[in-house]
């Protein structure tokens, strides 16, 4: 058990971060290569301001007509994404590990605060899951893999939460927590979760196409 | 359904699918955009509410844009092009019967996925196998042989123009329709239904240009600005069609190409045509201006003046053609023209770039009777929008919107009259002294 834990918090961390960043970089580089000839339209009408506005309006909560049309979903969806990044990045335990490994760390929040935010994150996750089941236009599009990915995104938080609260066998929870976290990192570049970076490219493109070429608002 | 199935079965036996051709098209389009769009769609469903087909048919989830792409182009890529005729027949229904490529959904998608472009790509795949509405390919030979969709000869076209010039001089003195005038400032291009069925549209344009003292010409070839091949998914022909117009403008050395009040012509000429015709920079070789822009400039600059007594008193609304407004960027110009012509203007909601397609776009009107019933059903959203304004007149600078709104008015008992800008400008502009015909006829109401 101890060896497994050591492996997961040692070499496996390196591997998963390498796959995460390397995979994303590879995907972007590959698409950039493809785009040279087949996506001339992307390069022909580039404009920093149109691209930027097209991105910015969708990073702001309720910043677009579309998001305002479903405000409850939009707020949940926004919180889900913010917490997905904020909780792991500013968690004290994670920062302690980084400090031990690299001698650097970020600001971290008090544990009880992180604990509450984790509950909030899981609540948004449950909401998004339920929405997929409840709304017919979403349910019809959703595949088993879409549900799986959502569960895989929430699992590191759930296991981390259980471990912190010492619910269930602590060592196993901790191992599962690290394992699911790493699994998620590895999956991101090769799934629709690649939108973590590709979002910026596809939004920029529609900004060029509808904003720059036509003057339309893309939000 | 049954009719379709039996027809398909016999076709399957007669005409096998050329999967190599399909693979070729899929491969050529397998760039960064389509790959990204198909792989990152997170199935959030936000696009559904943006689509008038979805809204008009009781929110049938199968009409959400994401669903339509997933089950057409998405499936073609998933199967790597190994599809059968039965599958393509289902695609036919979706691609032409459930989408007008109005691009509204791309403004409502968090990733800005350009669904219309993917629908158009899937149309190209179907077209390559001959699966395409007859209404959109019936004109292909005409385009190839005569350069215009109605197969009109240059002689007939020129005759119509001189006939119209003659007729118009009874109202505006000195109307002349110059043909192939080199170095003119603008080359005016039209929808062939104008010379064929509504020649007065050409007469009206001629009167406006005369009063505005425009330096203009009509070309003897390349005068058809429409592009039904674009909607049919026939990209090679679509490129050929725009090239005829571009080349003529270059040959005549004109400053600008001006297009009649037609929506898809503008989309074709300015935005998609350059790519079909293989211009690597994606820009037409000559600047293209839509009538809406030109008329707005005439009014703004006082080249055309409107008689205040002839401004329309009845309530009026403006139908933003998708390809003039959202896809053409001219929604403000349209409204400014309206403000010169109309006293009681009532905008629809939503409007401008967020307007709903009338249901006649994307090829629907030329697709004819086979699609008429769906066109009327999906037009419900537009009909309700119009009704809510209480308008008696709908102005729209697009031939397809024009026909669709007129049909909707009958179908939904809206009691509205549909007019183009030309109609109203000609009725209400002040004819300066020097253009007053010598023997004046009394104008009736």
* Residues A165-189 pLDDT 10s: 999 999 999 999 999 999 999 999 9
Cβ-contact B269, B256 below 8 angstroms: no
pLDDT over 90, % of chain A: 95
Cβ-contact A14, A177 below 8 angstroms: no
Which tokens hold the place of B21? 């051709």
Write down the pLDDT at residue B438. 81
Kindly list the strands in the beta sheet with B312-318, ordered across the sheet, starting from the edge strand earlier in the chain.
B342-345, B312-318, B393-395, B417-419
pLDDT tens per residue across span B177-188:
999 999 999 999
Half-sphere exposure of B266 (CA within 13 A, CB side): 28
Asked if the model's pLDDT at residue B110 lies above 80, the reply is yes
d(CA B303, CA B298): 5
Cβ-contact B144, B126 below 8 angstroms: no
Angle between helices B19-29 and B115-128 in degrees, nearest 10: 150
B42, B327, B353 member nearest A195 (Cβ): B42
Cβ-contact A61, A75 below 8 angstroms: yes
**Which chain B residue's Cα is nearest to A212?**
B329
DSSP bridge pairs for B189: B259
Q: Would strands B216-217 and B256-259 be described as parallel, antiparallel, or unpaired?
A: unpaired
Q: How far is CA B285 from CA A6, B190, B232, B269, B279, in A?
A: 65, 19, 24, 10, 9
pLDDT tens per residue across span B353-377:
999 999 999 999 999 999 999 999 9
Could you tell me which of B91, B94, B175 has the C-alpha nearest to residue B126?
B91
Write down the pLDDT at residue B439. 65
**Which chain A residue's Cα is nearest to B47?**
A66
Cis (ω within 30 of 0) for the bond into B440?
no
pLDDT over 70, % of chain B: 95
Q: Do B36 and A202 touch (CB under 8 A)?
A: yes
Asked if the model's pLDDT at residue A15 lies above 70, the reply is yes
d(CA B350, CA A40): 33
| DSSP-based three-state secondary structure for A109 | strand
Torsion sign over Cα B115, B120, B121, B123: positive
Count of CB atoms within 10 A of residue B31's CB? 18
Write down the pLDDT at residue B9. 47
Q: Do B50 and A137 touch (CB under 8 A)?
A: no
User: What are the chain A neighbours of B31 within 8 Å (beta carbons)?
Assistant: 34-35, 37-39
Q: Is B275 an interface residue toward A (CB < 8 Å)?
A: yes
pLDDT tens per residue across span B335-357:
999 999 999 999 999 999 999 99
Return the ∠ at Cα B24 (arms to B21 and B29), rounded to 5°.
130
**Which chain B residue's Cα is nearest to A62?**
B110
Write down the pLDDT at residue B15. 76
User: What are the chain B neighbours of A209 within 8 Å (beta carbons)?
Assistant: 106, 114
d(CA B289, CA B287): 7
Q: Do B40 and A202 touch (CB under 8 A)?
A: yes
Q: What is the mean pLDDT of residues A61-68?
A: 94
Band of residue B444 on the pLDDT scale cut at 50, 70, 90: very low
**Which chain B residue's Cα is nearest to A31?**
B32
Q: What is the mean pLDDT of residues B239-255?
A: 98
Band of residue A1 on the pLDDT scale cut at 50, 70, 90: confident
pLDDT over 90, % of chain B: 94
How many angstroms separate the CA of residue B407 from the nearest CA in chain A? Answer: 29
Cβ-based contacts under 8 A for chains A and B = 149
Best probe of the B interface among A40, A53, A147, A216, by most B CBs < 10 A, is A216
Write down the pLDDT at residue B445. 44
d(CA B317, CA B335): 10
Q: How far is CA A196 from CA A122, A150, B30, in A?
A: 19, 14, 21
């Amino acid at each position: 058990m101890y060896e497994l834990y050591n492996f997961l918090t040692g070499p496996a961390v390196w591997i998963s971060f390498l796959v995460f960043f390397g995979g994303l970089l590879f995907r972007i580089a590959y698409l950039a290569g493809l785009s040279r000839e087949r996506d001339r339209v992307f390069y022909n009408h580039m404009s920093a301001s149109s691209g930027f506005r097209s991105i910015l309006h969708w990073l702001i909560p309720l910043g677009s007509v579309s998001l305002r049309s479903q405000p409850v979903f939009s707020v949940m969806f926004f919180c889900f994404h913010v917490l997905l990044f904020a909780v792991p990045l500013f968690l004290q335990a994670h920062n302690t590990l980084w400090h031990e490994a690299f001698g650097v760390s970020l600001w971290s929040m008090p544990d009880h605060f992180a604990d509450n935010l984790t509950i909030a994150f899981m609540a948004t996750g449950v909401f998004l899951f339920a929405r997929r089941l409840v709304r017919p236009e979403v349910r019809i599009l959703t595949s088993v893999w879409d549900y799986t990915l959502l569960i895989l995104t929430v699992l590191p938080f759930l296991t981390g939460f259980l471990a912190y609260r010492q619910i269930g066998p602590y060592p196993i929870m901790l191992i599962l927590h690290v394992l699911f976290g790493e699994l998620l990192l590895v999956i991101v570049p090769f799934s629709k979760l690649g939108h973590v970076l590709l979002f910026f490219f596809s939004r920029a493109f529609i900004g060029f196409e509808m904003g720059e070429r036509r003057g339309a608002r893309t939000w | 359904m049954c009719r379709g199935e039996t027809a398909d079965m016999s076709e399957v036996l007669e005409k096998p699918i050329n999967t190599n051709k399909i693979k070729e098209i899929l491969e050529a389009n397998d760039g960064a955009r389509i790959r990204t769009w198909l792989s990152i769609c997170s199935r959030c469903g936000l696009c559904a509410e943006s689509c008038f087909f979805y809204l008009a048919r009781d929110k049938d989830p199968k009409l959400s844009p994401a669903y339509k792409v997933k089950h057409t182009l998405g499936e073609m890529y998933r199967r790597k092009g190994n599809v059968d005729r039965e599958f393509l027949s289902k695609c036919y229904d979706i691609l032409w019967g459930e989408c007008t490529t109005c691009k509204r959904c791309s403004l409502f998608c968090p990733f800005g996925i350009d669904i219309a472009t993917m629908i158009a790509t899937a149309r190209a795949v179907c077209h390559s196998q001959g699966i395409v509405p007859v209404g959109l390919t019936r004109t292909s030979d005409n385009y190839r042989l005569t350069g215009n969709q109605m197969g009109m000869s240059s002689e007939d076209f020129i005759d119509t123009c001189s006939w119209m010039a003659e007729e118009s001089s009874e109202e505006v003195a000195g109307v002349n329709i110059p043909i192939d005038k080199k170095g003119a400032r603008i080359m005016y291009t039209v929808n062939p239904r104008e010379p064929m069925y509504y020649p007065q549209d050409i007469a009206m344009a001629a009167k406006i240009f005369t009063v505005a003292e425009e330096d203009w010409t009509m070309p003897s070839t390349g005068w058809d600005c429409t592009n039904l091949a674009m909607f049919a998914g026939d990209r090679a022909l679509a490129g050929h069609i725009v090239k005829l117009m571009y080349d003529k403008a270059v040959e005549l050395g004109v400053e600008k190409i001006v297009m009649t009040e037609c929506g898809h012509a503008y989309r074709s000429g300015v935005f998609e045509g350059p790519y079909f015709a293989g211009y690597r920079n994606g820009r037409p070789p000559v600047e293209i201006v839509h009538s809406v822009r030109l008329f707005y400039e005439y009014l703004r600059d006082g080249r055309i003046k409107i008689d205040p007594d002839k401004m329309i008193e009845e309530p009026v609304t403006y139908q933003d053609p998708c390809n003039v407004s959202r896809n053409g960027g001219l929604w403000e110009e349209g409204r400014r023209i309206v403000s010169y012509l109309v006293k009681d203007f009532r905008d629809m909601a939503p409007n401008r770039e967020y307007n709903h397609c009338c249901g006649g776009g994307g090829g629907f009107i030329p697709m004819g009777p086979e699609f008429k019933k769906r066109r009327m059903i999906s037009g419900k959203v537009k009909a309700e929008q119009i009704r809510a304004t209480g308008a008696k007149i709908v102005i729209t600078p697009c031939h397809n919107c024009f026909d669709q709104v007129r049909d909707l008015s009958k179908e939904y008992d809206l009691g509205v009259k549909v007019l183009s800008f030309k109609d109203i400008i000609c009725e209400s502009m002040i004819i300066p002294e020097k253009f007053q015909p010598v023997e004046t006829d009394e104008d009736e109401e």
